[in-house]
Structure 1
Amino acid sequence: MSKSKRLLELMLTVNRKRKFTVKELAREFRVSPRTILRDLQELEELGVPLYSEVGAHGGYRVLNERILPPIAFTEEEAVSLFFASHALRHYTAVPFRAEASSALGKFYHYMSADVRERIDQMRNRVDFVIPPRQAEAPHLPLLLKAAISSKVLRIGYRSSGHTAERDIQPIGIYASSGLWYCPAYCFLRQGVRLFRCDRIETAREVEDGPVSLDLREIHLGNWHEASGGEGALLRCRAELTEEGVRVCQAELGARGGVAVRQDGSGLLDSEIPSSELDYFARLFAGLGPSALVKEPPELIAAVRRLLLETLERYKK
C-alpha cells in the first residue's frame, strides 16, 4: 500500500474508531509502530484533531470535531453548495454562523482558480433576498440541540410587553421572511405552541423542570396539526389579489392555507387561533385593498377597528 493511500485510510479509520492505540493500528495496517507514529504525526499536521493519553489504558483519541473524508465535487455542485451557504449571509442569526463561515472559507480556498473566478463573477449576479430584519436570535444553537436531543429548556419569553418564564421542549427551528421560529411543546399551555426566536431573551437546560415528552412523531412538517392553536380555533377566509398572495405566502410561511388561482389571485382558507386575532388584523389592515376578509366576524371587526384608528390619526 502506498503511503498516500495509507494516510487516507488511516484518517478514515481514526475518525471511525475515535479511540485507539498505536499497536492496534500497526496490526491493522501491517506496518511497524514507528511507521504508525510518523503517520499520526502527519495527520496532526494536516489538521486531524488527535489527543494522546498516557498510562496503562492510554492511547490516542480524536477530539470532538470529526473530520469528514475527502469528497469529489463537480464544478456545478461546488458552485451550488457555495451559494447555498452564501445565501445565509442576509440573516442576522444563523445556528452555526461561525462554523458555516469557516466551511465556506475552506470550500472557496481549495477550489481551482477558474472556479473561484466564476464564483467571484456570480456574487453580484445571484442573490436570495429576504426582508431586512434587525432581530437577534442568539439561542438558535441551543434550541436546535434541544430539539434533536429531546431536552426541556426554561426560556424567558417576551410577549405583550413583558417577559415571563416558560418550560418548553423544542420541536425544531425554521426561518421565514427573515425571522426564526421555534415550534415547541409548552408545559404551561400544555400543548404545542409557536415561539418567535428573537423574543426568547434567555434559554437554558434545567434539572428541576418537567420530564421530557416523546415527540418523535411531531416535526416541522406536521407540528401545526398537533398544536390545536392557542385558544379556540377560528376559520379564516380572505380573498387576495396577486400582491396579497405574495405577501401572505411570505408572511405566513409554513402555516400555508393560500390557494392560488391561474390569474395569480388567491384565497386564504385556514384555521387560526383566537389568540392571534390581533396579528392577523394587522396583517390584513396593512394589505389594504389587496385583501378582503370574509370571515370570521371577529377578525373583520378587528381589521375595521384598526383602519378607523388609522383614519382618525390622519384627520388631525
Structure 2
Amino acid sequence: MSKAQRLMQLMMAVNRKRQFKVRELAEEFEVSTRTILRDLQELSELGVPLYSEVGPHGGYKVLRERVLPPITFTEVEAVAMFFASHALRHYSSLPFEEESVSALRKFYLHLPGDVRDSIDRMKSRLDFTAPTRRQNAPYLPLLLEAAVAQKVLDITYEPEDRASSQRAIQPVFIYTNQGFWYCSAYCFLRQGYRLFRCDRIRTAVYDTSGLQPLELEPSSSSGWYEEPSVPHSYRIQAKLSRRAVQRCEAEMWISLDIHEDGSGQLDAMVPEEELSFYANFFIGLGTEVIVEQPTELKDEIRQQLSDLAAHYK
C-alpha cells in the first residue's frame, strides 16, 4: 500500500473511532508504531483535529468537529451538490445556517475552474425560490438537537393573538412550510402534542427541573403535521378550478389532487393559526375555489369579507 493510500484509509479509520491507540493502528495497517506516529502528525497538519491523552487509559481521540475524508464527485454530481445547498439561501433561518454557508464556499472554491464557470453560468438561469419571511427562528438548532436527543426544553412561546406563556416541551419533528418553520412537540403543560411556529419561540433552554423525557418517535416523515388528531389543526378541503390549481402550485407549495381537466382538490392539515392566511388567499381566488370545510375557515372568510366591505363604506 502506498503512503497516500495509507493516509487516506487512516483518515477514514480515525474518523470512525472515538478513541484509539497507536499500537492498534500499527497492527491494523501492518506498519511500525513510528510510521503511524508520523502519519498521525501529517493528518494533524492536514487539519484532522487529534489530541492525545496520557496514562494507562490514554491514547488518541478525535475532537467532535471531525474532518471528513476527501470524496470524489463527477462534474454533474458536483453541480447537483452545489445547487442543493445553494437553494437554502432563501430561508431566513436554518438549523445549520453558518455551517451551510461555510460548506458551500469551501465546495465552490475547491472545484476545478471550468466546473465553477459552468455553475456561474447556471446561476443566472436556475433558481429555487421560497417565500421570503422577515421572521427569524434563532432556536432552530436547539430544537433539532433536542428532537434528535429526545430532551426536554423550557420555552417562552408567544402566539399571534394570545399572551406569551412558559412551558416545557419535548420536540419531535421539525419541518418548514410556506417559508415558516414548525416544531411538533409534546407539551407537558397541556399533556398532549402541540404544533409550535418556531419564530414565535422567544426563549429556549434545556430543562433543569428533572422532568423525564418520553420515548417519542415520528411515525413518518410527514405524519406529525398531517394527522387530524394533532390539536389546534384543521383539515381543509376545497374544490379548485384549473386556474386556482395553477395559483396554488405557484404560490402555496401544497399537495393537490389534480384531475385530468386541470382542476383539483385540496385536502390538507393546517395549524389553527394559519386559517387567516388561507382565508385571505382563497378570497383572492374568488369563485375559482369552493371551500367545503372546515366551518372555521368559512367563518374566517366571511369575517374578512365583512371587514373589507366595512372598510369601503
Residue in 1 aligned with 2:291? 293
Helix, strand or coil: the match of 2:98?
A: helix
Offset of residue 291 of structure 1: 2.4
Structure 1 pair 197/247, CA: closer, same or farther in 2 (3 Å)?
farther
Kept in 2, the 8 Å contact 1:182–1:195? The answer is: yes
Offset of residue 63 of structure 1: 0.4
Kept in 2, the 8 Å contact 1:152–1:209? The answer is: no
Structure 1 pair 267/22, CA: closer, same or farther in 2 (3 Å)?
closer
Residue in 1 aligned with 2:213? 212
Structure 1: unaligned runs, 5 residues or longer: none
Residue in 1 aligned with 2:176? 175
Cα deviations across residues 8-58 of structure 1 (Å, max 9, x unaligned)?
A: 121122112231222332333333332222211110111111012233432
Helix, strand or coil: the match of 1:77?
A: helix
Mapped to 1, the partners of 2:178 and 2:206 lie a distance apart of: 29
Residue in 2 aligned with 1:191? 192
Mapped to 1, the partners of 2:166 and 2:290 lie a distance apart of: 38
Residue in 2 aligned with 1:261? 259
Percentage of matched positions with identical amino acids: 53
Q: Which amino acid aligns with 1:307?
A: L
Q: Which amino acid aligns with 2:240?
A: L
Cα deviations across residues 266-316 of structure 1 (Å, max 9, x unaligned)?
A: 22345677776555434433443442323444433331121011111123x
Structure 1 pair 110/219, CA: closer, same or farther in 2 (3 Å)?
same
Q: Which moved more, 1:68-77 or 1:26-35?
A: 26-35
Helix, strand or coil: the match of 1:102?
A: helix
Q: Which amino acid aligns with 1:268?
A: L
Helix, strand or coil: the match of 1:52?
A: strand
Q: Which moved more, 1:108-117 or 1:245-254?
A: 245-254
Helix, strand or coil: the match of 1:14?
A: helix
Mapped to 2, the partners of 1:171 and 1:41 lie a distance apart of: 42
Offset of residue 89 of structure 1: 0.5
Helix, strand or coil: the match of 2:144?
A: helix
Offset of residue 65 of structure 1: 1.9
Residue in 1 aligned with 2:103? 103
Give matches, 1:27-106, under 5 Å.
27-106=27-106
Offset of residue 229 of structure 1: 3.5
Offset of residue 164 of structure 1: 1.0
Offset of residue 204 of structure 1: 1.4
Kept in 2, the 8 Å contact 1:244–1:287? The answer is: yes
Residue in 1 aligned with 2:300? 302
Cα deviations across residues 97-144 of structure 1 (Å, max 9, x unaligned)?
A: 111122212211221111111111111111011121111011111111
Cα deviations across residues 169-223 of structure 1 (Å, max 9, x unaligned)?
A: 2122112222111122222333322211111111111032643222225343212
Structure 1 pair 273/44, CA: closer, same or farther in 2 (3 Å)?
closer
Structure 1 pair 286/181, CA: closer, same or farther in 2 (3 Å)?
farther
Q: Which amino acid aligns with 2:303?
A: R
Structure 1 pair 241/57, CA: closer, same or farther in 2 (3 Å)?
same
Structure 2: unaligned runs, 5 residues or longer: none
Kept in 1, the 8 Å contact 2:172–2:218? The answer is: no
CA RMSD of aligned residues (A): 2.6
Q: Does 1:131 align with 2:131?
A: yes
Q: Which amino acid aligns with 2:154?
A: R
Offset of residue 153 of structure 1: 1.5
Residue in 2 aligned with 1:113? 113
Helix, strand or coil: the match of 1:170?
A: strand
Mapped to 2, the partners of 1:164 and 1:115 lie a distance apart of: 52
